[in-house]
């Protein structure tokens, strides 16, 4: 088949089927492009309603490209694992469920970005009975739960991006510009992995910039000179066939942790690994955010920055002073993938937690980032010190030593499995592993393995 407009009619014709379009939706081209976009097609013996038993999933829209802003197809959708829908029923009605859900939510809203899907339009759409209430949440759910093929691509993006991070850690030297590391990362991903694009603009923060959560944008384009004694926080991920990776490594610019850098780093490593160890189906994501906060507070007490009761600190939301972002987010075709807040799942209006991009319970097949961090952000610290409910926990002299420290984030990409999680990222994580890698060692290390 040569390139032609994608319209359900075309698909159906290619399949030798007759179809009824109940609703239609033009998805953002990026989403429509991907070969493993899922469409759930219901085969109806009785066109008045879907028969769940006859529901099958098509994995398809293979080899699409977005010429001229509109989606085009070079191949018809293919059924998964040999289910040829044509054989499902003798007399077949295919209902393509395209649309958005209504209810209390705005139609077709991406709960993370706030973007809204555009209405589909093609010649002849007026001949169809359009139902805009159905497909949006269906597709969103399809994107939350990754198939084996999708996981294979995500393992790949993670493997190559992890290798690229290791290259960067070996290459970084005091006196270099941050953007040299960005450039090296992207070069590695493209030249060694065929990954032309990054999942997002690289964040290569050194020194105080490592506490700037979204550093690296056009207004702050990774252009500082890396200095001796800096912590580096490099958050970079390559993308392959639209599938993202999202990995953060934090390390000392000169390759050797100071005692304070080691203490903060190991605090975050402890929370990261505690979270991964606790991940399994049924676990509520906000509980893991709280777990990370709690470990950070314990460690900050141990280091001497804070003192007092952890329960009282939690009440005062002190965790969010040091980790003002969410613990992690869904990852997939978008780096902050969709599906975090389907109908019935609500945001939690508390410092820190309100920044979570999902508050769902974990289920097998979900892919998330685990990215705890501890940052010394002046305006948050000043705010906390000005608030008697928080100020009472701080040892100001010790805190003063950490002003200008920057921050540490450790970001891993994981898949929730039937009984635990699978870690996709493979970069040096312990202090020893990082120092060895930065000294040029290619010695293998054992990546963390939580419960499988």
The footprint of Mn ion (CB under 5 A) covers 246, 369
- Rounded to a whole number of angstroms, the minimum distance from the CB of residue 177 to Mn ion is 24
- Rounded to a whole number of angstroms, the minimum distance from the CB of residue 411 to Mn ion is 6
- Rounded to a whole number of angstroms, the minimum distance from the CB of residue 315 to Mn ion is 28
Q: Is residue 33 within 8 Å of residue 66, measured between CB atoms? A: yes
Q: Which is nearer to Mn ion, 180 or 246 (CB)?
A: 246
Q: Which is nearer to Mn ion, 71 or 189 (CB)?
A: 189
Q: Which is nearer to Mn ion, 198 or 369 (CB)?
A: 369
Separation of alpha carbons 63 and 51, rounded Å? 30
DSSP codes joined into one string, 138-166 = HHHHHHHB--HHHHHHHHHHHHHHHHHHH
Q: Which is nearer to Mn ion, 232 or 384 (CB)?
A: 232
Q: Which is nearer to Mn ion, 96 or 367 (CB)?
A: 367
Separation of alpha carbons 107 and 99, rounded Å? 9
Residue 368: CB atoms within 10 A of its CB come to: 28
Q: In this chain, which residue has its C-beta nearest to Mn ion?
A: 246
Q: Which is nearer to Mn ion, 42 or 325 (CB)?
A: 325
Residue 171: CB atoms within 10 A of its CB come to: 15
- Rounded to a whole number of angstroms, the minimum distance from the CB of residue 28 to Mn ion is 20
Q: Which is nearer to Mn ion, 156 or 330 (CB)?
A: 330
- Rounded to a whole number of angstroms, the minimum distance from the CB of residue 314 to Mn ion is 24
Q: At what angle do helices 431-438 and 148-171 cross, to 10 degrees?
A: 60
- Rounded to a whole number of angstroms, the minimum distance from the CB of residue 77 to Mn ion is 31
Q: Which is nearer to Mn ion, 35 or 238 (CB)?
A: 238
- Rounded to a whole number of angstroms, the minimum distance from the CB of residue 213 to Mn ion is 10
- Helices (H), ranges, 279-368: 285-303, 310-315, 319-322
Closest CA to 238 of 251, 229, 247, 230: 247
Separation of alpha carbons 203 and 217, rounded Å? 8
186's CB contacts (< 8 A; 6+ apart) are 198, 202, 238
The end-to-end CA distance of the chain, in Å, is: 43
Apex CA 205: angle with CA 427 and CA 265, to 5°?
A: 50
Closest CA to 280 of 405, 451, 44: 451
Q: Which is nearer to Mn ion, 186 or 246 (CB)?
A: 246
- Rounded to a whole number of angstroms, the minimum distance from the CB of residue 367 to Mn ion is 12
Phi then psi for residue 119, to 5 deg, are: -65, 145
Classify residue 30 by burial, with Cβ atoms within 10 Å: 0-12, 13-18, 19+. Answer: exposed
- Rounded to a whole number of angstroms, the minimum distance from the CB of residue 79 to Mn ion is 34
């Amino acid at each position: 088949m040569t390139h032609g407009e994608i319209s359900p009619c075309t698909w159906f014709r290619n399949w030798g089927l007759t179809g009824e379009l109940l609703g239609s939706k033009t998805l953002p081209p990026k989403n429509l492009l991907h070969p493993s976009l899922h469409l759930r097609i219901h085969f109806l013996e009785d066109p008045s309603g879907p028969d769940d038993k006859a529901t099958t999933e098509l994995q398809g829209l293979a080899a699409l490209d977005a010429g001229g802003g509109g989606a085009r197809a070079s191949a018809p959708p293919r059924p998964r694992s040999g289910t040829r829908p044509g054989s499902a029923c003798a007399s077949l009605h295919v209902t393509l469920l395209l649309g958005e859900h209504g209810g209390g939510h705005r139609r077709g809203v991406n709960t993370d970005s706030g973007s809204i899907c555009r209405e589909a339009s093609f010649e002849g759409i007026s001949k169809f009975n359009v139902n805009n209430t159905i497909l949006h949440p269906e597709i969103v759910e399809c994107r939350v739960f990754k198939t084996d093929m999708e996981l294979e691509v995500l393992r790949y993006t993670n493997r190559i991006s992890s290798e690229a991070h290791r290259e960067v850690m070996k290459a970084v030297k005091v006196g270099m510009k941050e953007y040299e590391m960005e450039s090296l990362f992207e070069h590695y991903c493209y030249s060694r992995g065929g990954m032309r694009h990054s999942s997002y603009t690289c964040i290569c923060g050194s020194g105080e910039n490592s506490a700037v959560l979204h550093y690296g944008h056009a207004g702050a384009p990774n252009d500082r000179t890396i200095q001796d004694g800096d912590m580096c926080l490099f958050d970079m991920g390559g993308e392959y066939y639209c599938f993202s990776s999202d990995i953060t490594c934090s390390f000392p610019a000169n390759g050797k942790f100071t005692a304070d850098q080691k203490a903060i780093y190991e605090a975050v490593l402890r929370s990261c690994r505690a979270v991964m160890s606790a991940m399994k189906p049924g676990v509520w994501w906000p509980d893991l955010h709280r777990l990370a906060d709690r470990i950070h507070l314990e460690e900050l007490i141990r280091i001497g920055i804070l003192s007092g009761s952890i329960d009282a600190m939690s009440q005062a939301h002190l965790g969010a002073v040091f980790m003002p972002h969410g613990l992690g987010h869904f990852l997939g075709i978008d780096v902050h993938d969709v599906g975090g807040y389907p109908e019935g799942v609500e945001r939690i209006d508390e410092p820190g937690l309100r920044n979570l991009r999902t508050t769902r319970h974990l289920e097998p097949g979900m892919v998330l980032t685990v990215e705890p961090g501890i940052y010394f952000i002046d305006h948050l610290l000043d705010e906390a010190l000005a608030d008697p409910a928080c100020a009472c926990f701080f040892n100001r002299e010790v805190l003063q030593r950490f002003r200008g420290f920057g921050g540490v984030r450790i970001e891993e990409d994981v898949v929730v499995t039937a009984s635990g999680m699978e870690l996709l990222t493979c970069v040096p994580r312990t202090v020893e592993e990082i120092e060895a890698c930065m000294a040029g060692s290619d010695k293998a290390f054992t990546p963390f393995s939580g419960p499988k």
